[in-house]
Amino acid sequence: MGYKKFFEPKDNIFLIKLAKSILPLALKFIYKIEKIEIDNNDIEKLKDLKYKRVILCPNHPTALDPIIMFYLSKAIDHNFNYLAAWDIFVEEPLKGYFMQQLGAYSIIRGTIDNDSFKTTIKLITEGKKFLVIFPEGDTCGLNDYLLPFQPGVIQLAFWALDELHKNNQEKINDLFIIPIAIKYKYIKSMKNEIISALKRIEEKLGLYSIENEKKDNYERLIRISEHLLSIAEKFYNLKLEENLSFNDRLNRIKEFIINKISTYLDIKIKPNMNLLDKVRTIFNTINSIIYVDNNLETDLSEYEKKLYKEKKEELKNFYDDLHRVWKFIAVYEGYVKEDMSDERFLEIIKRIEWEIFGKEKVYGPLKVILKIGGKINLLNYYEEYKKNKRNCIENLIKKVEDNIKEMLKKLK
């Protein structure tokens, strides 16, 4: 079976209307989101930009963020397109099918995906709908933490301006980048849920005793984390080293996994690559063998096909290791201690649940706060871009990132 390299947006108007009509019920009963708060001025701000060229750039703390952006499209009565990871369409075909119908399309992250680039440029130049692109490219699962922003969103926008300029339009219209902050908050005390979750985890790890109930929740969380770290070190045959901090030990495991897989696959990792880019590079390499290169099998003998199938199954085993790095990519000692909020406690607990139970529990009730940042008109930077493309792109993506950081601080 061959896999498509690109999944285009279908924009099924009937399904979009249907999905918007049932969205409030899905938010409440599936995702435990009771309400979404958006300032009326922010809604009007976006309504004023309808049918103009607009790229919405939200932060990406959870996997629910695209649904929140879909809610925003309902709130301003304007349909969006969404750039989404190619992996989703392949690994979850039914989900991918409905995403396409609702306006999403794919990109193979960390690669030169020409089909995706062309579609993005086309959607921007047409300007019929807002385009949603998450600059982080991945979700880290932490409300108060941003992964490094990828400059691709700015580059694609300028390529769209180049295309408009090439068509000799008398006046190139504006192209706006809109930073958006998404923040999740529990609307009641989650103390009992935290205590129950800690007990459930301790029982699974053989750490529970009635005496634990008398201990501070943070102390229990630290003990669980230390225990999991020790198990992981034994599993990966890493020798115990004196004077290594918790963060050093955690980072050592992440780097060990990356080095092990990249060495096995003979992937050249650039020395200056951050951890997230390393994970993306390895994921893309494995996916290219498991999914994209299936057509190679047509020219193979039956025996070669058998070996090729075995190799693909072997590579799939690396997914657990890579997901382990990805799930804990932004976790560090002190994240909870810096702010003993229910949100931070449960963010770490959900990562631990995924590690030992294979899935995360949905906690609630939640509210989501959306804050719309000031618009950045790329047309005002076009001449600067033509003089020094790299510098201009870096400055603008930093401007978007700083804007979102500032909004998130105010939402604390």
Residue 24, both tokens: 């409030």
Which contacts qualify for 21-24: CB closer than 8 Å, 24 or more apart?
23/67, 23/70, 23/71, 23/74
Residue type at position 6: F
Do the beta carbons of residue 387 and residue 353 sit within 8 Å?
A: no
Averaged confidence pLDDT in the chain: 91
What whole-number distance in Å separates Cα of residue 19 and Cα of residue 70?
9
Task: Name the nearest CA neighbour of 32 among 57, 67, 83.
Answer: 67
For residue 360, the 8-state DSSP code is P
pLDDT score of 307: 83
> What is the helix (H) or strand (E) element at residue 377, kind and residue range?
strand 376-377
Superfamily name with CATH number, domain 13-187+365-410: Glycerol-3-phosphate (1)-acyltransferase (3.40.1130.10)
Task: Name the nearest CA neighbour of 205 among 223, 217, 218.
Answer: 223
pLDDT score of 242: 82
pLDDT score of 385: 97
pLDDT score of 168: 67
pLDDT score of 34: 97
pLDDT score of 28: 96
pLDDT under 70: residue ranges of the chain: 1-2, 168-170, 292-299
Residue 251, both tokens: 């980072």
Q: What is the dihedral of CA 230, 275, 330, 229, to 10 degrees?
A: 0
pLDDT score of 117: 97
What whole-number distance in Å separates Cα of residue 4 and Cα of residue 101?
16
Instruction: Tell how strand 366-372 and strand 175-186 pair up.
Output: antiparallel
pLDDT score of 234: 94
Other CB atoms within a 10 A radius of the CB of residue 28 amount to 15
pLDDT score of 240: 83
* φ, ψ for residue 269, nearest 5 deg: -95, 125
pLDDT score of 274: 85
Q: Find all residues with CB under 8 Å of 149, minimum gap 6, and list them.
A: 135, 136, 397, 398, 400, 401
pLDDT score of 381: 96
Domain(s) labelled CATH 3.40.1130.10 in the chain stretch across: 13-187+365-410
Other CB atoms within a 10 A radius of the CB of residue 192 amount to 9
> What is the helix (H) or strand (E) element at residue 108, kind and residue range?
none
Centroid of chain to Cα 58: 10
